[in-house]
Amino acid sequence: MIKLKTEKDIEKMRLSAEVLCQTHLALKKVIRSGVSTKQLDEFAHDFMIYKKSVPAQLNYEGFPFSLCTSVNDEICHGFPSNYKLKDGDIISIDNVVNLNGGLADSCWSYAVGELSDENQKLMEVTLESLKRGIKEAKSGNRIGDIGNAIESYVTSNGFSVVRDFVGHGIGDQMHEDPQVPHYGKAHRGQRLENMMVITIEPMINIGDWKCTIDENGWTARTKDHSMSCQFEHQIVIRDDEAEILTDQSKYSLTEEDEKRIEIYKNKNNL
């Protein structure tokens, strides 16, 4: 069942989105070669707590971390570990924040050092596919319009769209109806309505779209071990164009945030 949101609901999500975006802005300052994904998880966890919010992914259906940190051939739900990032890596960081009952969900991908031309293109195509999907996410269009816009652009660039994981509604719960595939036919599927809140989160592979699941039961990786990349925004459906709640450019770190980040980096050798 799809739940249309009120402006009060959306304002709560907007406040959570500010914390989420600030967490990503903070992570940008510590992502570098030599830092482990476990260190990033611990850093983000502490930052969200400092912001008086709850890391909503922690213990969600048993997931044991505050971030999903998916590196290179990992598609999504990557476990933070002692793996140290190295130049040429792509890391996709998925984060969900709960602030006073409002939920915000976004994944952002980061280049570590300099990427190969092909991997740089992967990141650019993935981000552009997200933008094209969002452009179709307006009242009166259908779910299939989003997926078709993403898939047609991605395949025209020689890459593939993961089919096993999709976007979703979000509200009181992290995952609600409707499901939002990143592939499909235009003019098909659920009609979009004002005040629906959904995520669009294309996962794009250089090789085949098929995946395998690691022994931990969570981490999905490309079956052919090709590189993967993901970008995700949480949006509100409006008449003319979607409102992007998780737009990092709308937010900035406070002076106190900056001080706290530097203290943490120095203390933990980041």
> Tell me, what's the pLDDT at 251?
97
pLDDT of residue 270: 83
Instruction: Please report where in the chains the tokens 């991605």 appear, as a residue.
Output: 154
Q: Give the single-character DSSP code of 148.
A: H
CB 26 within 8 A of CB 257: yes
- What is the distance between the alpha carbons of residues 11 and 24, in angstroms, rounded to a whole number? 20
What SS3 class is residue 103?
strand
Quick one: 17 exposed, middle or buried, by C-beta within 10 A (0-12, 13-18, 19+)?
buried
Partnered with residue 142 across adjacent β-strands are: 191
Measured in Å, how far apart are the chain's first and last C-alpha atoms?
45
Q: Is residue 256 within 8 Å of residue 50, measured between CB atoms?
A: no
220-222 β-sheet, strand order:
74-76, 220-222, 211-213
**pLDDT number for residue 267:** 87
Contact 105, 153 (CB under 8 A): no
* Helices of type H across 51-172: 117-135, 143-156
pLDDT of res. 268: 86
* Residue 225 backbone phi and psi in degrees, to 5: 65, 25
**CA-to-CA separations, 128 to 34, 58, 97, 153, 179, in angstroms, rounded:** 29, 30, 25, 9, 21
- Evaluated on CA atoms 60, 64, 65, 67, the torsion sign reads negative
CB atoms within 10 A of CB 1: 6
Sorted by sequence, the CB contacts under 8 Å of residue 115 that are 6+ apart come out as 88, 90, 123
Dist CA 260 CA 254 (whole Å): 10
Distance, CA of 119 to CA of 230 (rounded, Å): 12
Predicted confidence pLDDT, tens digits, the chain (270 residues): 899 999 999 999 999 999 999 999 999 999 999 999 999 999 999 999 999 999 999 999 999 999 999 999 999 999 999 999 999 999 999 999 999 999 999 999 999 999 999 999 999 999 999 999 999 999 999 999 999 999 999 999 999 999 999 999 999 999 999 999 999 999 999 999 999 999 999 999 999 999 999 999 999 999 999 999 999 999 999 998 999 999 999 999 999 999 999 998 888 888
Cβ of 33: how many Cβ atoms within 10 Å?
Answer: 12
